Amino acid sequence: MATTEYSRVLPAAEPSAESEESRRVDLSIVIPLMNEQDSIGQLHTEITQTMSGEECDYEVIYIDDGSTDDTFARLSVIQEEDPRVTVIQFRRNFGQTAAIAAGFDHARGAVIIPMDGDLQNDPADIPRLMAKIEEGYDVVSGWRKDRKDKALTRRLPSKVANWLIGLVTRVRIHDYGCTLKAYRREVVRHIQLYGEMHRFIPALANWHGASITEIEVNHRPRIHGKTKYGLIRTYKVILDLITVKFLGGYGTKPIYFFGSMAMVLFACACASGAYVILMKLFAGMSMVRNPMLLNTVMLIVLSGMCVMLGLLAELMVRTYHESQNKPVYVTRQVLRHGQDT
């Protein structure tokens, strides 16, 4: 498989073109871990067995997300025995999104596949994801159709969340929460992850023009440890969804969002003011003693505040882009006479 992108490395001396060329691989498997000491040995064995039958130059990146058990010690042994393994240890627990972001930053592969480290994702699905990528897709999402989790606390909230995310983002896939996905490197390198936004990567990639598909993947019951997720994360999904919708729809033009709110509030103010006048003319009610007059004034003030917020947001967005020379567009390639870039 041909690779097309250069890797991102830790701040250091600038590598030469030759060293960068030699560092590139076909596939990076990114695995965040927290207190999974009993799973990592079997997981790495399964990955090695699966990839041994593939003509693919790959690496495995394990991220120890602040484990308090022997996870890092066992990862260290695996890393000493397998030169294709990279281990990143966080100083404390930063969360799955931060761990996946760190894996993306250190990945050298043209294709990046994150997966869970609890053995519920099946490494045997990796070649199937790669085959779908080779068909020309930029993102291949795993769908845990036959999910082996508790119905009330895991599967039901997940179904509701997937429906809501699809409704808001208009990217219709069945399983946003499945970590097992495949991404072309040139797609995810433009995406910055914050909060718990790793589940929204397909939607973020779609807004960058990526082609997305999904395949059914095997999901296995957990046999070691316990899940780190529960119903409490539902509200976080909703808050992150609001953020994603705002950034995707108005990230470079926030005045449209706040301006629309201002117009709605001003229209309500006009309707409220007209009602006050009608009550004065036809019912003889004093405008001064009418509480609707106060409501009218407050709506006008809120409308003006929304306009001001929009202007401030415009200044912040332009400062953000211009201070970093960050373009407001993403290119797939540039064609010039005699060369492709």
* Rounded Cα–Cα distance for residues 167 and 10 (Å): 38
Per-residue pLDDT tens over the stretch 294-316: 999 999 999 999 999 999 989 98
Both tokens of residue 2? 């041909």
Overall average pLDDT of the 248-277 stretch: 90
Query: pLDDT tier at 14 (50, 70, 90 boundaries)?
Result: very low
Tell me the pLDDT tens digit for each residue of 140-159: 999 988 887 776 666 777 78
Cα(18)–Cα(329) distance, integer angstroms: 30
**Interval 326-332 mean pLDDT:** 70
**pLDDT tens-digit readout, 209-259:** 889 999 999 988 888 766 666 556 667 777 888 888 887 777 788 899 899
Least confident stretch, 29-33, 177-181, 196-200: 196-200
Q: What is the mean pLDDT of the chain?
A: 84
Q: What angle do CA 74, 77, 80 make, to 5 degrees?
A: 150
The whole-number pLDDT of residue 273 equals: 92
Task: Show the tokens assigned to 53.
Answer: 């039958």
Measured distance CA(179)–CA(184) in Å, rounded:
15
| CATH 3.40.50.740 matches 17-250 | no
| In the chain, domain spans | 17-250, 254-322
Tally of residues, the chain: 341
Give the pair of three-digit tokens for residue 37: 């000491």
Q: What is the pLDDT of residue 334?
A: 75
Whole-number percent of the chain with pLDDT over 70:
87
Instruction: Return the minimum-mean-pLDDT range out of 160-164, 175-179, 209-213, 277-281.
Output: 160-164
Residue 340: strand pairing partners: 335
pLDDT at 8 over 70: no
Q: Tokens for 304, please give them.
A: 């003006």
pLDDT of residue 338: 62
User: Measured between alpha carbons, how far is 208 from 187 in angstroms, rounded to an integer?
Assistant: 8
Evaluated on CA atoms 188, 193, 197, 199, the torsion sign reads: positive
DSSP secondary structure letters along 62-103 = EEE-S-SSSHHHHHHHHHHH-TTEEEEE-SS---HHHHHHHH
